[in-house]
């Protein structure tokens, strides 16, 4: 095995511009799709699976550990077919989930259940409204139902359904993928509708809603330009969707498990495109919004593979390997670097769909390698980004942040056959190592199963050395590590 050794020097120049890493880049996405909401989160109060008010306790406990800051719901493509009134009150009205397998959506999980989920997770609301097939009236009524305290038809309806106090909505999306499943609109048409609909997304009482406009699909720079020019002043954020597809071809994406080393490299190359996409969309946004008032919300990202053989093609169920852990870490590092513009990101999706945190099978639940990266990275939430000098070679990557008088350093080795010896120089003497953990896979397809749930799980770092201002870490192939240190005052 060749041992590469490169030095990474961390230096915080006195006037280096830095920015806060918004905790919301660790956001999640939960759509009415496959077994994400039903089974993954919601089992109902009468289920034998241990639950609190219908939400499974094991999922909630695991998700609380990674400090989920915000949950985007109810879609996705589902959002532009969702009619919220069918999902409140004692008589729920089923509908067909046209996008996702054509199954019957019972609407048992609706607005009240969503806010119960947020309550149990201690997370913020990001609701995606229906612009594609819903009316302005329907959207404004929903906002009134959720957030108006005083007497009004919608507030009274909410109260009659057992909720007296209004809820808070921090973020509201006005349509989803309106260039595609949300209405196949050209950007000019969407921008006009966005201006109209957002007018009626009102703030009641002290609730302040940040409005999120539908942004581009991957590298559709024209969409960003047109929507920003026409409607930029009416939005707080613009979304961006980009999925990592190993082949780059939606019709034959590649398997989640049975992939070769070339597909490993192709996948990581596809995921690194996120850096260019954010840079170029952000540069267009700069033309219309040089002060960076409008944030970029990468509210759908992650790997998208062919579904697991034998599963419903409309349910988007896929396994999750150490490759997904690397994808997660590389994307989070990119979001950190661009956190002056990227104020939210929502990985798709939280449970049992695409690049999930958790997989369930009846009462059993496993944490994926991606989950463990979110855990290893949790100290970066709301920390100050620390620019670094130096690099870890072609396959290496790193990110550093500072919070609560400690530095968190996360290091990535995406190589398949070499270690990286990383020397990290801090701006002062290291006094204490507060955390030093990492994950790796025995092979490039290592993953967790219901029989071997901890095949890929965090372990204390071997061979970590502290030497004055230096930290020396050996990163095995296919690994992600985090070290958190405090310095002598």
Stretch near ligand AHR under the rule CB under 6 A, chosen from 17-25, 290-298, 306-314, 348-356: 348-356
Minimal distance, residue 261 CB to ligand AHR, in Å: 27
In angstroms, rounded to a whole number, what is the distance separating the alpha carbons of residues 475 and 262? 21
Which of 134, 66, 54 is closest to 377 using CA atoms?
A: 66
479 exposure class (CB count in 10 Å sphere: 0-12, 13-18, 19+): buried
Strands in 95-216 per DSSP E: 95-97, 103-105, 124-129, 171-174, 210-213
Minimal distance, residue 93 CB to ligand AHR, in Å? 22
Q: Is 177 a catalytic residue?
A: yes
CA 100/CA 188 separation, integer angstroms: 28
Using CB under 6 A, which of the segments 73-81, 148-156, 189-197, 250-258 binds ligand AHR?
73-81
Among 40, 74, 76, 438, binds ligand AHR (CB under 6 A): 76
Cβ-based nearer residue to ligand AHR, 349 or 445: 349
Instruction: Give me the least distance between CB of 474 and ligand AHR, in Å please.
Output: 37
Q: Is 432 a catalytic residue?
A: no
Q: Which stretch binds ligand AHR (CB under 6 A): 71-79, 101-109, 137-145, 476-484?
A: 71-79
C-beta separation of 256 from 308 below 8 A: yes
Set 156, 177, 263, 308: catalytic member: 177
| Interface with ligand AHR, residue 134, by CB under 6 A | no
287 token code pair:
């033309």
Within positions 271 to 310, which residues make up the interface with ligand AHR, using CB under 6 A? Answer: 300
Under rule CB under 6 A, residue 105 binds ligand AHR? no
Of residues 111 and 176, the one with the C-beta less far from ligand AHR:
176
3-state secondary structure of 272: helix
CB neighbour burial string for 127-139, b if at least 16 within 10 angstroms, e if fewer: bbbbbbebeeeeb
* Alpha helices by DSSP H, 175-244: 187-199, 221-231
Question: Given the complex with ligand AHR, which of 210 and 349 has the nearer CB atom?
Answer: 349
Element (H or E) spanning 87, and its range? none
Q: Is 178 in the site for ligand AHR (CB under 6 A)?
A: no
31 is an interface residue for ligand AHR by CB under 6 A: yes
Task: List residues with catalytic annotation.
Answer: 177, 300
Residues that bind ligand AHR (CB under 6 A): 31, 75-77, 176-177, 300, 348-349, 354
């Amino acid at each position: 095995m060749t041992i590469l050794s490169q030095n990474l020097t961390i230096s915080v120049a006195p006037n280096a511009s830095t920015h806060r890493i918004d905790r919301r880049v660790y956001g999640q996405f939960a759509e009415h799709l496959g077994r994400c909401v039903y089974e993954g989160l919601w089992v109902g109060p009468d289920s034998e699976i241990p639950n609190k008010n219908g939400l499974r306790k094991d999922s909630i406990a695991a998700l609380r550990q990674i400090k989920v800051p915000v949950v985007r719901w109810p879609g996705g493509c589902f959002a532009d077919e969702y009619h919220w009134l069918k999902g409140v009150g004692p008589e729920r009205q089923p509908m067909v989930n046209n996008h996702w397998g054509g199954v019957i959506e019972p609407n048992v999980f609706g607005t009240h259940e969503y806010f119960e989920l947020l309550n149990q997770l201690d997370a913020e609301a990001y609701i995606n409204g229906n612009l594609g097939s819903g009316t302005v009236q329907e959207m404004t009524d929903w906002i009134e139902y959720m957030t108006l305290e005083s007497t009004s038809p919608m507030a009274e309806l909410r109260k009659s359904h057992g909720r007296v106090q209004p809820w808070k909505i921090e973020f509201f999306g006005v349509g989803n993928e309106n260039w595609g499943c949300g209405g196949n609109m050209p950007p000019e048409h969407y921008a006009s509708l966005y201006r109209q609909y957002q007018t009626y997304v009102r703030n009641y009482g002290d609730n302040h809603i940040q409005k999120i406009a539908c942004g581009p699909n991957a590298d559709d720079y024209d969409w960003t330009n047109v929507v920003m020019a026409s409607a930029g002043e009416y939005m707080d954020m613009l979304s961006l969707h980009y999925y990592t597809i190993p082949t780059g071809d939606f019709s034959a994406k590649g398997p989640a498990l049975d992939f070769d080393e070339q597909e490993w490299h192709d996948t990581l190359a596809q995921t690194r495109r996120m850096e260019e996409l954010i840079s170029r969309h952000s540069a267009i946004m700069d033309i219309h919004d040089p002060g960076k008032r409008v944030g970029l919300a990468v509210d759908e990202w992650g790997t998208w593979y062919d579904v697991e053989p034998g599963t419903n093609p409309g349910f988007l169920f896929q396994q999750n390997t150490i490759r997904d852990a690397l994808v997660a870490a590389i994307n989070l590092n990119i979001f950190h670097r661009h956190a002056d513009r990227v104020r939210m990101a929502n990985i798709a999706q939280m449970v049992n769909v695409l690049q999930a945190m958790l997989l369930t099978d009846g009462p059993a639940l496993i944490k994926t390698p991606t989950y463990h990266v979110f855990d290893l990275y949790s100290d970066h939430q709301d920390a100050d980004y620390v620019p670094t000098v130096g690099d870890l070679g072609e396959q290496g990557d790193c990110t550093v942040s500072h919070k609560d008088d400690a530095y968190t350093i996360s290091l990535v080795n995406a190589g398949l056959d070499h270690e990286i010896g990383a020397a990290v120089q801090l701006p002062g003497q290291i006094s204490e190592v507060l955390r030093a953990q990492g994950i790796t896979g025995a092979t490039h397809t290592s993953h967790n199963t219901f029989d071997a749930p901890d095949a890929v799980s965090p372990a204390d770092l071997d061979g970590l050395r502290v030497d004055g201002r230096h930290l020396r870490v050996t990163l095995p192939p296919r690994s992600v590590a985090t070290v958190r240190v405090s310095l002598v005052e």
